[in-house]
C-alpha cells in the first residue's frame, strides 16, 4: 500500500525544517538551502532556493531563476493569487512545474532540478536546471562499422532518445517514461511505434517494468535480468546495442526498445537467435558481401562451440576417423606432455579466457599488448616447456577466433561458457556424449522464448517466414513484410514493387 504523501506547508520554516531532515543538512555538504526574498515594488516575501550543488547549472540558476525573483516588479499579490503571480514571475525557464507534495519534490531534486519555496504558498516551483558533466556522442566501440554511421549512445536518456528520433522521424514513435527503483527512481524510456508494434507485446513489457520492486537500478543490465524469466539460461536472450541506427531498425520491425538513464546500451525486445548473429555492417554493404560475412560468422561460432569437444571425442574414443599420418603427428607432438588431453585443453581454454579478461580490464593501448604477449610468447613458451602440445594451441586459437567473430559480446561469452560443457561431455562418452550435449542444448533453445516469441524462429517453429531469412540477408527491395513471429499490427513494411522505376 502506498504511503500517504506529505503536503507542502504554507509555513516556510516548516518546509525548511523538513528539507533539512530529509537531506541530512548540514552533514550533506553538497545540498544547498539558500535564503532570499522575492522582491516586489511595495514589499517582499521570504523564500528559499534548494538544490544539489554539482547537479545543477549555476548559470541557469542565477540568470533564469534568481534574476526574476530578486528584481522588483508589480505589487505584492494577495494570498488568493500569490501562487499564480509567482509562477508567472519565474516562468521564463522551461520546464517549470508546481509540486504540492514533498515526495515528488525530493525526486526532482535528486535528478538535477532546483526548487523554490515561498512563504504563504502551498506548493513549490521546481525547475529543470540539470548541469552535470556528461559524455558526448562518440563512435561505437564494440559494434564498430566501416560503412555505417559513427554515432553511439551515451549515458543520458534524452540524448539517446533524440538520436533515435533523428533517424526515424516518425510521430508515431512513442516514448513512455517508466521510473524503476523505489529509491533511485531511475527513468526508463520504453519505445515502440504505435500502429506497428504488437499491443500485447507493449503491454507485457510495460507490465514487467512497472511491477519491478527494487530499491536501486544502476544500468540496463539490471533491467535485463529483472525482465527475463530465467536468469540461468545458457544463452543470452536479450540484445543490447550501442548503435542508434540498429535500435531504429529494430523499432521499424515492430520491436520494443528500452533506454535506461545512466547506461550507454539500450535493450531490444524480443530477441531471437537471428538477431544475435546479425551485425550492423550487414545493412551497409551489398547483399553478396553481407551473406558471405554472415556465413563466416556462423561457421566461426560453430567452430568455437563444437571444435574443442569434437577434438576431445575423436582423440579419446574415435581415433579411427583420423588418417594415420595425422594421428601419428598429433601423438608425436603430445609424447612429452605430462597432462591428459582433457586437462591440457581445459588449461589452455582457461588461459585463453584469462588473457581475454586481462586485455579488457587494462587500458586500451596496454590491452592489445597483453593479448599479443599472452598469445604468442606465453603459448610458445608453454610448447617449449612441454606443458601443452602445438595441436591444443591450434584448437583453442581457432575456437577463440570463432567467438570473436560474434557481433554480440553477450553471445560470445555464452558460447565460451557452453564450450566447456561440450568438452566435459565429449571426454565422458565421446561422440555419444557430444551428441547428448548438443541434443540438450537444441531442445532447450527450441523450447525457449522471449515475450512469447520463439528464440529459434523462423527456423523452428515454422511461422510462415523462410528459415533462410534467419541465415541469409535479403536485398532491401525484398523486405516487404515484417517478421511474422512478432504479430505486428501492420505486417507490410513496403509495397510488393518498391522499385517503381523498373516498371
Residues 8-60 pLDDT 10s: 998 999 999 999 999 988 888 989 999 999 888 888 889 999 999 888 888 88
pLDDT at 260 over 90: yes
Whether the Cβ atoms of residue 234 and residue 441 lie closer than 8 Å to each other = yes
**For the ranges 51-60, 68-77, 439-448, the one whose mean pLDDT is highest:** 439-448
pLDDT for 305 equals 93
Predicted confidence (pLDDT) at residue 94 exceeds the cutoff of 60: no
The pLDDT score that the predictor gives to residue 3 is: 65
pLDDT at residue 372 greater than cutoff 70: no
Using 50, 70 and 90 to split pLDDT, how confident is the model at 339?
Answer: confident
Which pLDDT value is given to residue 407? Answer: 86
Domain ranges of the chain: 12-128, 157-271, 285-450
Buried b (16+ CB within 10 A) or exposed e, 97-119: bebeebebbbbbbebbbbbbbbb
88 confidence band (pLDDT: 50, 70, 90): confident
Backbone dihedral region for residue 122 (phi beyond 0: left; psi -120 to 50: alpha; all else: beta): alpha
Q: Mean pLDDT, the chain, as a whole number? A: 87
Instruction: Determine the pLDDT at residue 41.
Output: 81
Residue 128 confidence (pLDDT): 86
Over the stretch 75-87, which tens digit does the pLDDT of each residue have? 887 767 778 878 8
CA dihedral sign of residues 424, 430, 432, 434: positive
Q: Residue 1: its pLDDT value, please? A: 46
Of 132-136, 397-401, 427-431, the one with minimum mean pLDDT is: 132-136
* pTM reported for the whole predicted model: 0.86
pLDDT, residue 19, reads 93
In 3-state terms, what secondary structure has residue 77?
coil
Amino acid at each position: 500500500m502506498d504511503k500517504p504523501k506529505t503536503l507542502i506547508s504554507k509555513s516556510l520554516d516548516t518546509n525548511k525544517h523538513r528539507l533539512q531532515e530529509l537531506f541530512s543538512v548540514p552533514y550533506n555538504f553538497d545540498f544547498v538551502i539558500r535564503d532570499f526574498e522575492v522582491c516586489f515594488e511595495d514589499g517582499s516575501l521570504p523564500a528559499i532556493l534548494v538544490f544539489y550543488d554539482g547537479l545543477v547549472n549555476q548559470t541557469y540558476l542565477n540568470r533564469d531563476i534568481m534574476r526574476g525573483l530578486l528584481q522588483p516588479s508589480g505589487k505584492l499579490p494577495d494570498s488568493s493569487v500569490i501562487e499564480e503571480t509567482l509562477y508567472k514571475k519565474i516562468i521564463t525557464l522551461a520546464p517549470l512545474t508546481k509540486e504540492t507534495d514533498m515526495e515528488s519534490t525530493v525526486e526532482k531534486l535528486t535528478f538535477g532540478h532546483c526548487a523554490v519555496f515561498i512563504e504563504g504558498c502551498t506548493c513549490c516551483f521546481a525547475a529543470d536546471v540539470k548541469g552535470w558533466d556528461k559524455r558526448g556522442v562518440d563512435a561505437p566501440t564494440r559494434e564498430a562499422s566501416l560503412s555505417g554511421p559513427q554515432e553511439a549512445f551515451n549515458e543520458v536518456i534524452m540524448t539517446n532518445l533524440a538520436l533515435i528520433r533523428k533517424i526515424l522521424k516518425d510521430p508515431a514513435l512513442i516514448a513512455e517514461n517508466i521510473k524503476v527503483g523505489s529509491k533511485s527512481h531511475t527513468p526508463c524510456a520504453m519505445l515502440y511505434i504505435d500502429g506497428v508494434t504488437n499491443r500485447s507485446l507493449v503491454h507485457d513489457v510495460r507490465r514487467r517494468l512497472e511491477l519491478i520492486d527494487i530499491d536501486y537500478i544502476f544500468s540496463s543490465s539490471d533491467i535485463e535480468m529483472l525482465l527475463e524469466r530465467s536468469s540461468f539460461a545458457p544463452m543470452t536472450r536479450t540484445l543490447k546495442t550501442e548503435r542508434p541506427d540498429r535500435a531504429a531498425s529494430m523499432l521499424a520491425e515492430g520491436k520494443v526498445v528500452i533506454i535506461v538513464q545512466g547506461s550507454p546500451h539500450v535493450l531490444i525486445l524480443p530477441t531471437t537467435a537471428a538477431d544475435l548473429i546479425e551485425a550492423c555492417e550487414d545493412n551497409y554493404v551489398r547483399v553478396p558481401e553481407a551473406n558471405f560475412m554472415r556465413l563466416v560468422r556462423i561457421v566461426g561460432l560453430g567452430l568455437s562451440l563444437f571444435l574443442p569437444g569434437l577434438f576431445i571425442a575423436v582423440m579419446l574414443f574415435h581415433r579411427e576417423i583420423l588418417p594415420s599420418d595425422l594421428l601419428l603427428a598429433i601423438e608425436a607432438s603430445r609424447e612429452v606432455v605430462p597432462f591428459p588431453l582433457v586437462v591440457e585443453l581445459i588449461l589452455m581454454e582457461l588461459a585463453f579466457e584469462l588473457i581475454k579478461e586481462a586485455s579488457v580490464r587494462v587500458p586500451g593501448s596496454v590491452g592489445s599488448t597483453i593479448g599479443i604477449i599472452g598469445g604468442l610468447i606465453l603459448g610458445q613458451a608453454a610448447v617449449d616447456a612441454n606443458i601443452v602440445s602445438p595441436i591444443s594451441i591450434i584448437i583453442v586459437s581457432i575456437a577463440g577466433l570463432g567467438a570473436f567473430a560474434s557481433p554480440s559480446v553477450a553471445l560470445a561469452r555464452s558460447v565460451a561458457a557452453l564450450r566447456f560443457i561440450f568438452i566435459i561431455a565429449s571426454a565422458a562418452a565421446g561422440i555419444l556424449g557430444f551428441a547428448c550435449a548438443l541434443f540438450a542444448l537444441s531442445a532447450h533453445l527450441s523450447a525457449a522464448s522471449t515475450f512469447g516469441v520463439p528464440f529459434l524462429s523462423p527456423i523452428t517453429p515454422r511461422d510462415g517466414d523462410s528459415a533462410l531469412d534467419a541465415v541469409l540477408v535479403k536485398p532491401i527491395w525484398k523486405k516487404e513484410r515484417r517478421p511474422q513471429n512478432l504479430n505486428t499490427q501492420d505486417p507490410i513494411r513496403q509495397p510488393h514493387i518498391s522499385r517503381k522505376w523498373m516498371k
